[in-house]
Amino acid sequence: SQQGEEDPQALSIQEGENATMNCSYKTSINNLQWYRQNSGRGLVHLILIRSNEREKHSGRLRVTLDTSKKSSSLLITASRAADTASYFCATDPQETSGSRLTFGEGTQLTVNP
């Protein structure tokens, strides 16, 4: 399997619920980033967590990073219909020193009104 795999592939929840998405990766990283993509549009950077950080918050977003397990999670609290999108994790491998991000296949989140 490849670097940056998201789980689940698809998630459907009701407005107001929390959404949790997970990402696993294989190599040592400088940082891990989460992006969001609305259907057929470009990606939007959400949050970056460095390899020496364990948790980071930004508004309704909470990201955790466990480098021992090579995994990260993105939690969206109090979800809204407007949060419906695909969410991707991207890893910045140490071996390429920032010249490349490796993206996963994404989690499709649907928030029902």
Partner 1 sequence: ETGVTQTPRHLVMGMTNKKSLKCEQHLGHNAMYWYKQSAKKPLELMFVYSLEERVENNSVPSRFSPECPNSSHLFLHLHTLQPEDSALYLCASSRYPGLTYNEQFFGPGTRLTVL
Query: Which residue ranges make up the site for partner 1 (CB under 8 A)?
Result: 2, 4, 30-31, 33, 35, 40-45, 48, 50, 88, 92, 97-106
Q: What does DSSP assign to residue 96?
A: G
- Ramachandran category for residue 96: left, alpha or beta (phi over 0 → left; psi -120 to 50 → alpha): alpha
- Report helix, strand and coil shares of the chain as percent, to nearest 5: 5, 55, 40
State the nearest-atom distance from the C-beta of 52 to partner 1, in Å: 11
In this complex, which beta carbon is closest to partner 1, that of residue 41 or of residue 54? 41
Q: Which is nearer to partner 1, 15 or 22 (CB)?
A: 22
Least Å from the CB of residue 30 to partner 1: 5
Min dist. Cβ of residue 100 to partner 1 (A): 6
Q: Which residue, 17 or 95, is less far from partner 1 as judged by CB?
A: 95
Q: Please, which residue, 14 or 50, has the CB nearer to partner 1?
A: 50
Whole-number Cα distances in Å, 58 to 1, 38, 64, 72, 79: 30, 19, 12, 15, 14
* C-alpha to C-alpha distance for 71 and 100, rounded to whole angstroms: 19
How far apart are CB 38 and partner 1 at their closest, in Å?
Answer: 10
- In the numeric block, the tokens 């390899």 are attached to 51
